[in-house]
Structure 1
Amino acid sequence: MKRYIPNQHGAWAMLILPFLFGVAASGGHYLHIPLFVCWLLIYLFSFPLLQWVKTRRSDRYGKPVLIYGALLVPFILYMIISVPNLFWFALPLIPLFAVNVYFAKTKNERALLNDISAILAFCLMVYPVFYVGEGESWEMATSLFVLSVLYFIGTALYVKTIIRERKNPYYYYASVIYHIIMVVLGLLFWPAVAAAPLVVLLLRAIILPKTGVTAKQTGISEIGFSAMLYLVVIFCM
């Protein structure tokens, strides 16, 4: 199943949170259901595809690519027929995915630039979800997009202090300083209650890397932190 199901627990938060932000900014619509299935299949399709690019093992990853691709096509066609303008929202994803392909090919997926490219692709999902839901405030959608990007970039830095760069003090300091800046920005531009989870994330960045928390525990906990952020956003809207 490792060929079919991504083993990065934190990535599921990136898949779901921006989508939920888009729904929150616009209101529910029945087309959000097939749109989410489409988005999920795109993620599941891209995982073995990037592994194929990285390892060049079509024998291992060719079948998952074909299966997910076959499942994905009818959903893409349905969404494009139902909402033709969705095509334009997909265009920014192409260069971002090209960056991911490059880093997979060079076997350097853990590069921060690769993480940021993936984060932008995930977070851009706020906009098509908002559009499908016939939302009215693009300013709100953009605010939630920015919040998503800031949160997940901070998470990428924090996760590196736990796994790849756990012995690198510069990454730890960069992560803590980044989260301090996030708190300051939150206090300046959002209600105080909305900045509260940013303080929690700052404490996470300061304390957890020193506790010996594992990569799996970190990934699972990020789902909880994402839920916290979502609930606070819903409360403030």
Structure 2
Amino acid sequence: MTDHERTPSRRRAYAKLWIPDQPGAWMMALLPALAGVVVGGADAGRLWLTAAWLLCYCVQFTVARWLRSRFRRRYLPPAATYAALLAVVGAPFLVVHPAVLAWAPTYAVLAGLTFRGAWIRRERSLWSNAASVLAASMMAAVVYTLGRPDPLAPATGFVLAAVFALTQFGSVLFVKTMIRERRSRGFLVASWAWHALLVAAGVIVAWREGPSGTPLAAVAAMLLLRAVALPMIGRRRALRPVVVGMVEMVMSLVVFVYAVMCAPLLAL
């Protein structure tokens, strides 16, 4: 292989040190915060907080790799750079919006769990995935409630966060049945059971709330359908990870649209 042929691969490898290379993970991390912006209003504070959260995600990604590598030098520059940028963006935000620090203990615990998972090289375990899902999903509530004194704000924020947390954990289970745990009957049963419970919850909400609750049942049914159909197809013919990723990106957008259009009505 010539030097000219090696250059593109080296550039891609260098880029992966700095940029998370899973579009589905990007969407799962950012869509809850963006839902909080859309539902709460795209003011300067919410946009500022969302930008800080984006940097938090980059810090988590790069620091986790650095920890997993046992402090290899090549992973330090991205982690240090993102941490410095987060300090520049985040410190002034905390001065202007100190009330957001009420969320800090919870996020410290969740970050600690993900870093622990990286250190022991179990970052793809269910408990580590669950910590990441909770951290991302809660941002819907953190962003939405920023500066909102109205009494319904906590309830609406909770509903938004719950929708993302429940559906994103289902996504974690589904993706495992398609890739890393493709031959695991236990994970397949867990995925189907989780999504069936989501459908049951959607039906109950539709029965209690009427038309405003019906879309939740429809979204849950779509998620269950893909959780059942794709693993069955995958047993007959291998599906590339990019196909699974594209399906989850579409499903993430469906959940996002539901969250911003319908979920706040359930808090009323």
Give how far 1:151 is off.
0.4
Q: What percentage of aligned pairs have identical amino acids?
A: 30
What amino acid is the match of 1:8? Q
> For the Cα contact (< 8 Å) 1:26–1:133, is it kept in 2?
no
**Aligned residue identity for 1:118:** S
Distance across 2 between alignment mates of 1:233 and 1:69: 31
User: SS of the counterpart of 2:180?
Assistant: coil
Question: Which residue identity lines up with residue 254 of structure 2 in the other structure?
Answer: M
2:221 and 2:230 map into 1 onto residues whose CA distance is 14
Aligned residue in 1 for 2:95: 81
In the superposition, relative to structure 1, how do residues 180 and 101 fare at CA in structure 2: closer, same or farther (>3 Å)? same
* Structure showing greater Rg: 2
Structure 2 match to 1:163: 179
User: Equivalent residue for 2:225?
Assistant: 203
Instruction: Show CA shifts across 1:188-236 (max 9, x none).
Output: 1251122211111000100112333222322233221111112223332
Distance 1:157 1:14 in 2: 14
TM-score, normalised with respect to structure 1: 0.94
Query: Residue 232 of structure 1 aligns with which residue?
Result: 258
Structure 1: which 5+ residue stretches go unaligned? none
Runs of 4+ residues over 3 Å off in structure 1? none
Q: Is the 8 A contact 2:64 2:118 kept in 1?
A: yes
Match of 2:215 in 1: 193
Report the CA distance between 1:20 and its aligned residue.
2.4
Q: Distance in 2 between matches of 1:70 and 1:194?
A: 41
Deviation track 1:60-107 (CA, whole Å, cap 9, x = no partner) reads 110001111121111111210111111121220111111111111111
Secondary structure at 1:95's aligned position in 2?
A: helix
Match among 88, 92, 106 for residue 106 of structure 2: 92
**Cα pair 1:29 1:132 within 8 Å, conserved:** no
Which range is displaced more, 172-181 or 56-65?
A: 56-65
SS in 2 for 1:213: coil
Cα offset, 1:23, TM superposition: 2.4
| 2:79 corresponding residue in structure 1 | 65
What amino acid sits opposite 2:145 in the alignment? Y
User: Residue 112 of structure 2 aligns to a residue in which SS?
Assistant: helix
Between 1 and 2, higher relative CO (CA 8 Å, sep ≥ 6) is seen in: 1
Question: Which of these residues, 117, 120, 123, is aligned with residue 109 of structure 1?
Answer: 123
* Counterpart residue type for residue 203 of structure 1: L
Q: Show the counterpart of 1:214.
A: 240
From 194, 212, 215, give the equivalent of 1:178: 194
Deviates more, 1:95-104 or 1:197-206: 95-104
AA aligned to 2:232 is K
Q: Which letter does structure 2 place at the counterpart of 1:224? A: V
**Structure 2 SS opposite 1:3:** helix
Supply the AA of the counterpart residue of 1:207: A
User: In the TM superposition, what is the alpha-carbon distance from 1:54 to its structure 2 partner?
Assistant: 0.5
Q: CA RMSD in A?
A: 1.6
Question: What code does the residue aligned with 1:124 have?
Answer: M
TM-score (ref. length: structure 2): 0.83
CA-CA distance at 1:143 after TM superposition? 1.1
19, 23, 39: which is aligned to 2:33?
Answer: 19
The 1-side partners of 2:149 and 2:161 are apart by: 14
Where 1:102 maps in the other structure, the secondary structure is: helix
Give the counterpart of 2:144 among 107, 112, 130: 130
What code does the residue aligned with 1:228 have?
Answer: V
The whole-number CA distance in structure 2 between the counterparts of 1:50 and 1:36 is: 21
CA distance in 2, matches of 1:139, 1:213: 40
Greater share of residues in helix: 2
**Residues 13, 222 of structure 1: 8 Å contact kept:** no
- The answer to whether the 8 A contact 1:194-1:233 is kept is no
